[in-house]
Amino acid sequence: MSRFLVTGAGGMLGSVFCRQLKDKNEIYGIDIKPGFIEIDIAEKQVLWDFIKKTKPEVIVHTAAYTDVDGCELDPKKAHKINAIGTKNLAEACKDIGALMVYISTDYVFDGEKDKPYTEIDLSNPINVYGKSKLQGEEYVKNSCGRFLIIRSSGLFGKNGRNFVDTILKLAALKEDLKVVDDQRACPTYVDDLAKAVIKLVSLKKEGIYHVANSGVCSWYEFAEKILKISGIKKEVIPIKTDKSARAARRPKMSALCCDKYVEAAGKPMRHGREALKDYLKEIC
C-alpha cells in the first residue's frame, strides 16, 4: 500500500485516479470543490502544511485550468493555477522526497509537424493554455527531484466538460453540426489514461511520456464517430479552424506518438474508437 495525494480530485481525471487507486492505497484527494479536502494549490503555505502532515509518496497532479479559450482571456488565472500551483507542488515533492506525476497536454506543441509528436520534439505552444502548462513542466523538471510528466490528448470522461458531451448536447439542439476538420489529435478516455499512468508508476518510470488512446483523427471525424455509435442521424459539416471564431489558436496537429509508453508497458493503449464505445455505454 502506498500513500497518494491527488489534486483536482473532483475533476474528470482526478476522480478516476481516486477511484482506481482507492482499493489498494491510502488516498488524499484535494480540490477547491465542496465535498473534498478543500485546498487551493496556489496557496503555498496551506498546501505545504498539508503535504508535510500527510507525507504522500506520490502526488498525482491533475488540477488545472483547462478552458483553452478562458486561459486566453485570463492569462493571469492560467499562470496562477497551471504554473504557480504546479511549482508549489513540485517544491513540496522535492522537500518530502515524493514522486510527482504531472498531467500535461498536447498543446505544448505548435501543430506544424505533419505527424504525431514524440517526447523529444521541440515544445512551442501557440496559446496561453499551452504556455502555462509548459511552464508547469519546467517547474516540475527544475524544482522536483523525481517526476513523471504525462502528456495526453483530447480527454473525455465523466465529471467534466469534454468534446463527446458537447457533441451530444449540440445534436439534441441543432439540425446540423459544424466541426473543424483541420485539427488532428488522439481522443483519450480518462479511465484508460489513469490506468496507463498507474502502470507507469508501478513500473517506477520517470521522465516524460506521451500517453493516449491509439488512433489519430480530426475533430470532424471524431464527431461523426460519436453520432454514429450513438445512433444519432445528424449531418456534420466540416469547417476550417479560421471559421470557428475561438479566442485561442489551436495546433493543427496535436496527436502524440506513444512508442515510449508502449515500450515501457509492453502494449499500446486500445484504440480510441473502442474507448468511445465504453464511454457512451456509461453515459447513455
Please tell me which residue in 28, 65, 102, 129 is annotated as part of the active site: 129
C-alpha cell at 171: 445534436
User: What string of H, E and C letters represents the secondary structure of 217-261?
Assistant: EEHHHHHHHHHHHHCCCCEEEEECHHHCCCCCCCCCECCECCHHH
For residue 214 the three cell numbers come to 491509439
Radius of gyration, CA atoms only, the chain:
18
| pLDDT attached to residue 245 | 81
Q: Residues of the chain with pLDDT > 70: what percent? A: 100
Q: Is 261 a catalytic residue?
A: no
Question: What's the pLDDT score for residue 144?
Answer: 87
- List the one residue out of 117, 148, 144, 146 whose CA is nearest residue 130: 117
Say if CB 273 and CB 188 are below 8 A apart: no
In angstroms, the CA 283 to CA 191 distance is: 14
Q: Where are the domains of the chain?
A: 3-161+187-214+255-269
> In this model, does residue 87 exceed pLDDT 90?
yes
Q: How many other β-carbons are positioned within 10 Å of the β-carbon of residue 238?
A: 15
E strand residue ranges, the chain: 3-7, 26-31, 37-38, 58-61, 99-105, 146-152, 155-156, 176-180, 184-185, 188-189, 207-210, 217-218, 235-239
Predicted local distance difference test score (pLDDT) of residue 128: 98
State residue 209's pLDDT score. Answer: 98
Q: What is the pTM of this model?
A: 0.97
pLDDT digit string, tens, across residues 204-249: 999 999 999 999 999 999 999 999 999 999 999 999 998 888 899 9
Average pLDDT of the segment spanning 148-161? 96
Q: Which CATH superfamily is domain 3-161+187-214+255-269 in?
A: NAD(P)-binding Rossmann-like Domain (3.40.50.720)
